[in-house]
Amino acid sequence: MATFRPAMPAVGLRLTHRCEYIWGMFQSPRLFTHTAAEIPTAPEWAALHGFGQQVLRTDRSGLPLEWIDYREAVRLHFMGQVAYAFGSTLFRLRGGVNARSGLRTVVEVSSIVATTGQTHNPSARRRDYTPPLNNETLFKRDGHLCLYCGGRFGPTLLSRDHVRPFYLGGVDAWNNVVTACRRCNNHKANRTPEQAGLQLLAVPFTPTYAEYIYLKGRRVLSDQMEYLRAHFPRSSPLHCRAG
């Protein structure tokens, strides 16, 4: 009697570029299979973007949810939670050879994946959702410009200025904070812009969830940007500031 062999005996998933990734999940019908001769070669984008490139995850309806790395994207593929994918192909990963069919698994990860199942960001659907405030996303909201003198600075030379200072009852909220260079911030001190003789170059605003995802993105590809931009409010200042 023949010994039973599982359908997916090989668990080593080899990346076609630079590093390896061990994978122990079962094969999914969403994955491609090829004979050894059909295995595609590593495309140039792998060298171009590297495996640090983030993938934009959306829900099934296409609502942007979060950034994930390629490991999480592959996991979602294997779990059968990728409803559809679009955008450019970022990664192509080769799996083990199936002992029964002799075919090798190949997973392609696109720049945008729509997924089913639980989201890590249930607040994405709340109308009154306010993203957490931090300097990294604040500086990006304001295009790394000091909103008083208009100078562009690196993050270490920028600071968070409270337009209406704490001293006068101002709060630490998106619509009361702007990016300011240290010089302007020191000059303004515990005063309003009017009291300090300064003029704001742009009105601070609270990002929507889609805008916040853009602000959190480390390196947003053009197709991801185009997709996110379609979810920005029509009046969003980021239409102009985002590259």
Residues that bind Zn ion (CB under 5 A): 146, 148-149, 181, 184
Output the smallest distance, CB 237 to Zn ion, in A: 19
Spatial separation of the C-alpha atoms in residues 205 and 146, rounded to whole Å: 15
Output the smallest distance, CB 182 to Zn ion, in A: 8
Spatial separation of the C-alpha atoms in residues 97 and 103, rounded to whole Å: 5
**Among the listed residues 68, 69, 72, 58, the one whose alpha carbon sits nearest the alpha carbon of residue 124:** 58
34/144 with CB nearer Zn ion = 144
68/177 with CB nearer Zn ion = 177
DSSP H helical segments within 92-181, as ranges? 135-141
Output the smallest distance, CB 196 to Zn ion, in A: 12
Output the smallest distance, CB 229 to Zn ion, in A: 28
91/148 with CB nearer Zn ion = 148
Counting DSSP H helices and E strands in the chain, the numbers are: 8, 9
Distances in whole angstroms, Cα of residue 243 to Cα of each of 111, 135, 239: 18, 19, 8
74/184 with CB nearer Zn ion = 184
